[in-house]
């Protein structure tokens, strides 16, 4: 599939997956890789001469627990704040275990059971009556039939009457198709089938999942990257890979700007500066993913409209839009951050912080605040 905006992980890293498949180790039935190889796919390593890139930045033990969980008879539920790479990890695990990460269900308020399980080709249904030919398999049906990982994104946003339809699949590993008779009316899940769900603690927690459904999952809480240096490294890698080969390929995003960008996100997210001063916090998540997005957008902007070099001022403009959105409290928190954190560093003439401070005029009027005269 050339010219795709984004390739799924199993295609993008096909060479790594092929190398990892040569690693020894007992494979659970239906798995393409041994569990240790799946974990290595996510947290990086080396197979012979081929480096396996680190793709998930965070707690390696969390990856191990997630893999171990999927080898059991229970599903895996990844919960955490937005932008903590839950979906990305889910994709990596599915790609590593099943070689396919595209069996995805997206939880929305309008999700229906047939979008999860199966539907019908109504023309065939009318012509032939219910038959396997007329059945249009949904992601869950396909995953169970082929023994693959199914991903359910934002499971708590789905109506719980619909998500509770997963109980039989997770408990008894079977899916009933009442419209079909005999053996065709009962799909038994093949080895390799399991479910990875994600849930966002910000919009809606897991409170609305039924207790019965919760018990079918092992829970793993995904935290934001705690170490600043690691986060800078992650953001650098992500932005580099996004701009590579694209219109912003020639843009320079210096280390000092990366430090500005990531430090800002890190400090506002944790509510404390690196020096230990408490900060106001708005409602913005300030995730690493948003930091990457700001950096990438600034690079694009510099490429199209600038001199192919990202300046601190460019970051501030994008930052305001990403952080504040429509929340005046977040706008206030951002301006407060400039006073409390940026200003002292600018006074101490630290690197690009002076220019960062000088760009504070771009924060005025953001979030509905009146501009100073």
Partner 1 sequence: MARRKVVDPNDPLALARAVLADSETLWLPIRHLSPACAAVVGRRIREVRPAAVLIEGPDDATSLIPFLVDPVAQPPLAVLSTYADLKNRFGQNGILSPDPRIPVRFRSWWPLVASAPEHAALLAGHEVGAELAFIDAPLPAHIPFEHARLARAVQGPSDGALAENAYFSRLRGTRRSFGEWWESAFESGEAAADPDRFLTAVLVFAASVRGLTARGALDDGSRVREAHMAWHIAQARKRHPGRVIAVVTGAYHTVALPWTAGKRAAAKVDRNSKTLVCAWSSRGLAALLGPGAAPAWGEAVWSAFEAGETRPYAHAVQALTVVATRVARLEGGASTAEAVAAVSAAESLAALRGNREPTSWDFAEGLRLALRKGEQNRAAVEVALQAARVGGAMGRLSGAAGAPPLVLAWNAEAKDHRLDVSGGEVTVRLDVRRQEAHRRKSAFLHQSRFLELPVFGEPPFRGPDPASGQDLHLLGETWTFRWREAVVEHLVELADRGPTPTAAAESLMADRVAEAAGDAAATATLVMDAARMGLRAILPSVLAAAEEAVQVDPSFARRVTALGRYAEWHAVRDVLPTFGSERLAVLIGRLYLRTTLDVPSLAGTHPDRAEDAVEQLRALLRHALSLEADGAVAVDRRPLVEGLARLAGDPTCPATLVGAALGLGAAVGAVTEGQVARELSAFARIDEAGRFLDGLLRTSRGILLGGSALLTAIDRLVTGLEWDRFHAMLPDLRRAFTAFVPAELQRIGERVAGEVVALPEGDPPDDVARVLRLAATAAEQAALSVGPGSR
- Contact, 342 vs 277, CB < 8 A? no
Distances in whole angstroms, Cα of residue 371 to Cα of each of 329, 334, 364, 368: 16, 15, 5, 9
Q: Which residue has the tokens 């690493």?
A: 288
Q: Which stretch binds partner 1 (CB under 8 A): 47-55, 67-75, 89-97, 108-116?
A: 67-75
Question: In 3D, which of 120, 140, 152 has the Cα closest to residue 190?
Answer: 140
Q: Is 244 an interacting residue with respect to partner 1 (CB under 8 A)? A: no
Count of positions on this chain that bind partner 1 (CB under 8 A): 26
Q: Is 218 an interacting residue with respect to partner 1 (CB under 8 A)? A: yes
194 or 264: CB nearest partner 1: 194
84 or 264: CB nearest partner 1: 84
From the number of C-beta atoms within 10 Å of its C-beta (0-12, 13-18, 19+), residue 147 rates as: middle
How many whole angstroms separate alpha carbon 84 and alpha carbon 200? 10
How far apart are CB 87 and partner 1 at their closest, in Å? 18
Q: Is 29 an interacting residue with respect to partner 1 (CB under 8 A)? A: no
- Contact, 96 vs 123, CB < 8 A? no
Q: Which stretch binds partner 1 (CB under 8 A): 68-76, 133-141, 253-261, 358-366?
A: 68-76
How far apart are CB 28 and partner 1 at their closest, in Å? 9
Looking at 74, 173, 313, 350, which residue binds partner 1 (CB under 8 A)? 74
How far apart are CB 46 and partner 1 at their closest, in Å? 13
Q: Is 226 an interacting residue with respect to partner 1 (CB under 8 A)? A: no
Question: In 3D, which of 309, 298, 314 has the Cα closest to residue 359?
Answer: 314
Report the Cα–Cα distance between both ends of the chain, in Å, rounded.
54
Q: Which stretch binds partner 1 (CB under 8 A): 100-108, 159-167, 199-207, 253-261?
A: 199-207
How far apart are CB 72 and partner 1 at their closest, in Å? 5
How many whole angstroms separate alpha carbon 60 and alpha carbon 42? 9
Tokens of 274: 């690196």
Q: Is 214 an interacting residue with respect to partner 1 (CB under 8 A)? A: yes
Q: Among residue numbers 47 through 66, which ones bind partner 1 (CB under 8 A)?
A: 60-61, 64-65
Question: In 3D, which of 302, 286, 290, 287 has the Cα closest to residue 337?
Answer: 286
Looking at 12, 36, 54, 325, which residue binds partner 1 (CB under 8 A)? 36
Binding site for partner 1 (CB under 8 A): 26, 35-36, 39, 60-61, 64-65, 67-69, 71-74, 79, 201, 205-207, 214-215, 218-221
């Amino acid at each position: 599939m050339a010219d795709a905006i984004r390739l799924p992980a199993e295609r993008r890293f096909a060479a790594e997956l092929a190398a990892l498949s040569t690693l020894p180790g007992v494979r659970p039935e239906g798995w393409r890789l041994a569990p240790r190889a799946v974990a290595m796919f996510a947290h990086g390593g080396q197979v012979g001469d081929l480096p396996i890139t680190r793709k998930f930045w965070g707690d390696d033990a969390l990856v191990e627990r997630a893999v171990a969980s999927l080898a059991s008879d229970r599903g895996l539920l990844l919960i955490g704040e937005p932008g903590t790479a839950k979906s990305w990890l889910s994709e990596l695990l599915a790609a590593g275990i099943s070689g396919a990460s595209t069996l995805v269900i997206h939880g929305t308020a309008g999700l229906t059971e047939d979008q999860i399980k199966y539907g019908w080709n109504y023309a065939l249904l009318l012509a032939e009556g219910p038959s396997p030919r007329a059945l249009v398999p949904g992601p869950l049906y396909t995953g169970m039939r082929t023994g693959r990982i199914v991903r359910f994104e934002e499971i708590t946003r789905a109506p719980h009457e619909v998500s509770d339809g997963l109980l039989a699949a997770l408990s008894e590993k079977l899916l009933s198709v009442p419209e079909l008779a005999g053996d065709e009316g009962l799909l038994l899940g093949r080895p390799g089938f399991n479910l990875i769900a994600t849930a966002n603690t910000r919009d809606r927690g897991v409170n609305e999942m039924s207790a019965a459904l919760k018990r079918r999952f092992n829970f793993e809480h995904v935290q934001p990257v705690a170490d600043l240096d690691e986060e800078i490294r992650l953001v650098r890698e992500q932005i580099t890979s996004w701009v590579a080969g694209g219109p912003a390929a020639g843009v320079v995003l210096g280390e000092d700007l990366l430090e500005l960008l990531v430090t800002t996100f890190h400090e506002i997210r944790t509510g404390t500066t690196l020096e230990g001063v408490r900060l106001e916090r708005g409602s913005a998540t300030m995730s690493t993913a948003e930091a990457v997005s700001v950096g990438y957008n600034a690079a694009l902007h510099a490429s199209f409209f600038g001199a192919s070099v990202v300046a601190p001022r460019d970051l501030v403009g994008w930052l305001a839009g990403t952080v504040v959105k429509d929340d005046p409290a977040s706008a206030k928190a951002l301006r407060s951050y400039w006073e409390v954190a940026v200003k002292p560093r600018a006074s101490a003439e630290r690197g690009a912080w002076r220019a960062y401070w000088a760009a504070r005029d771009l924060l005025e009027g953001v979030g509905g605040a009146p501009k100073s005269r």
